[in-house]
């Protein structure tokens, strides 16, 4: 036995989590539903490795104040730097560029897998998490972006979230033009966009700090801000905070057009608010603003024609998306039902996924422009939301049928193994108990394995050609109505004795086992 002082403490690194069978089973059911929608839209699966060359990934993460620019990196023996991918989009861009001549264009694919970010962990913020992406590479028009939004809506409907979500759409070109009209310099723009993207997380005050000198969090860490003027901060705060924005009701509620917003701002020291519009700031003379508005209008028309009302998909100027590589339409899925946050406040659940157009990402590898659009679902966050709404029960799949080992002589062991093999060949999950404990401990083991049934064969049963089958789920349910232990043992709840040659037939009468056989045959 190892010296106690030399034992290693069993602990999990910060920002990572273990997953139990029930969580995995629930997530698998959700992913299967999402996959069906993606494939119905004509998308095919593909995979890329966890590691990419660091230069392949680029520096597009929202948090650039972390070591290794937010990624986990290592240097290979050929002195090339490799990094764990931080999303599934940058590897797709590399794959498409590398296989450009062989792939159909547009190229439609979906991918599910873990991504890794070297960021500061916190409640609900992990360094490893799963995403489920779909992308169209090689389609330039807003029709491809609109299709992504429609697929997002259909995915939420397939997960039985009707009436509890909205897909919100904006355009980076509109945002760029609006920020330019508000006096934001080009070198400040990305920091401003990332600050606005944190509105749900930090609130108006936190965003205003990031737009100004910077923000210090609860741990004392300081994030440098965009250092905008108070005048620009006031305009931008009003532009994206719904409690402050004054809206021209008739136009904005119909189209969500930023041009219909009247922005309230003023001298923060004298408290003298004024009203202006983006038009008065000159946004209509900025090409990107005009082009972005036109693209949003095309998308709005497509949504309407396809029967997607504003209750499912709507234009919303508050959508930003924090990644640097977005170049056009951006979109988010927001779940709108209320939850209580860590401060005890009632808030909407919020975003579970999003994406947008990234026309410049593939072009990093090729001389010609390559348009692309896509979106990503945060698998863990969406699974949590589905559990809250009762649409995803974290129930373990039934465990295997456990064949108890009551006799230890070689002939008996061979017979137990033969029974186990028969069950497996019939499509039934099964295992022979491999420990050294007695019958009571083996039954406890079967319970902990959430076993569908236990097969009990002692020397007497073997001599008579019989098997005892115990339906553990039924036994547990019926036992709730029997208070006396002696009566419970005498009742032999959920237990049946059958001929040895009818083992599979008798087990298949148990619902959990029947489902195993059905899945195996499908």
Q: Which amino acids are annotated as binding site for L-histidine, given as ranges?
A: 87-89, 117, 131, 135, 321, 325-326
Cα–Cα distance, 186 to 177 (Å, whole number): 11
Distance, C-alpha 404 to centroid of its chain: 40
Binding residues: 87-89, 117, 131, 135, 321, 325-326
Ramachandran assignment for 58, one of left (phi > 0), alpha (psi -120 to 50 degrees), beta (any other): left
Beta-carbon neighbour count of residue 2 at 10 Å?
A: 7
CA distance 127 to 117: 5
Are 428 and 513 contacting, i.e. CB atoms less than 8 angstroms apart?
yes
DSSP states of 295-348: HHHHHHHHHHHTT--TTTEEE-TT---S-TT--SEEEEEEEEEEEE-TTS-EEE
111 pairs with which residues across the strands? 133
**CA-based nearest residue to 494, from 461, 459, 451:** 451
| DSSP per residue, 385-413 | HHHHTTSS--PPPPBPEEE-----SHHHH
Residue for token pair 């659009």? 373
Give residue for tokens 């429609």: 150
Please check whether residue 88 is in contact with residue 48, taking contact to mean a CB–CB distance below 8 angstroms. Answer: yes
Farthest CA pair distance, the chain: 97
Structure tokens that stand for 415 in this block: 């017979």
Closest-CA residue to 457 (of 497, 425, 490, 430): 497
Count CA atoms within 13 Å of residue 360 on its CB side: 8
For residue 287, what are the contacts with CB-CB under 8 A and spacing of at least 6?
Answer: 177
Q: 48 and 111 in contact (C-beta within 8 Å)?
A: yes
């Amino acid at each position: 036995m190892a010296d106690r002082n030399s034992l290693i403490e069993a602990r999990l690194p910060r920002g990572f989590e273990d997953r139990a069978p029930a969580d995995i089973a629930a997530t698998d059911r959700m992913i299967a539903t999402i996959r069906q929608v993606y494939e119905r839209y004509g998308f095919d699966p593909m995979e890329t490795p966890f590691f990419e060359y660091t230069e392949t990934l680029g520096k597009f993460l929202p948090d650039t104040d972390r070591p290794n620019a937010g990624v986990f990196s290592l240097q290979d023996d050929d002195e090339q730097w490799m990094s764990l991918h931080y999303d599934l989009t940058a590897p797709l861009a590399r794959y498409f560029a590398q296989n450009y001549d062989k792939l159909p264009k547009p190229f439609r694919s979906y991918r599910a897998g873990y991504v890794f970010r070297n960021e500061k962990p916190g409640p609900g913020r992990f360094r490893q998490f799963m995403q489920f992406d779909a992308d169209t590479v090689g389609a330039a028009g807003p029709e491809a972006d609109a299709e992504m939004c429609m697929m997002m809506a259909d995915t939420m409907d397939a997960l039985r979230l009707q009436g509890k979500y909205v897909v919100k759409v904006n355009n980076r070109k509109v945002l760029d033009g609006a920020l330019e009209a508000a006096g934001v310099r080009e070198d400040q723009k990305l920091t401003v966009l990332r600050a606005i993207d944190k509105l749900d997380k930090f609130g108006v005050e936190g965003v205003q700090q990031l737009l100004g000198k910077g923000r210090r969090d609860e741990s004392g860490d300081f994030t440098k801000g965009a250092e905008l003027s108070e005048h620009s901060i006031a305009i931008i705060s009003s532009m994206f905070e719904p409690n402050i924005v004054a809206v021209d009701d008739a136009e904005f509620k119909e189209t969500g057009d930023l041009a219909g917003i009247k922005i309230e701002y003023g001298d923060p020291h004298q408290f003298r608010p004024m009203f202006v519009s983006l038009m008065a700031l000159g946004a209509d003379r900025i090409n990107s603003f005009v082009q972005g508005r036109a693209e949003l209008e095309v998308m709005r028309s497509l949504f309407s024609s396809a029967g997607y009302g504003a209750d499912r998909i709507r234009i919303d100027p508050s959508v930003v998306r924090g990644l640097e590589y977005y170049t056009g339409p951006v979109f988010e899925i927001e779940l709108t039902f209320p939850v209580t946050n860590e401060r005890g406040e009632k808030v909407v659940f919020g975003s579970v996924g999003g994406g947008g157009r990234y026309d410049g990402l593939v072009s990093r590898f090729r001389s010609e422009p390559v348009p692309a659009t896509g979106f990503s679902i945060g698998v863990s966050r969406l699974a949590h939301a589905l559990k809250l709404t009762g649409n995803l029960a974290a129930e373990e799949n039934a465990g295997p049928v456990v064949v108890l080992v009551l006799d230890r002589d070689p002939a008996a062991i061979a017979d137990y193994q033969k029974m186990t093999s028969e069950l497996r060949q019939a499509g039934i999950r099964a295992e022979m108990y491999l420990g050294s404990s007695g019958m009571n401990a083996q039954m406890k083991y079967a319970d902990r394995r959430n076993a569908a049934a236990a097969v009990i064969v002692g020397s007497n049963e073997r001599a008579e050609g019989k098997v005892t089958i115990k339906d553990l789920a039924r036994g547990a349910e019926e036992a709730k109505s029997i208070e006396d232990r002696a009566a419970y043992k005498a009742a032999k709840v959920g237990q049946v004795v059958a001929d040895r040659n009818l083992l599979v037939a008798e087990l298949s009468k148990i619902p959990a086992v029947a489902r195993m056989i059905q899945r195996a045959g499908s």
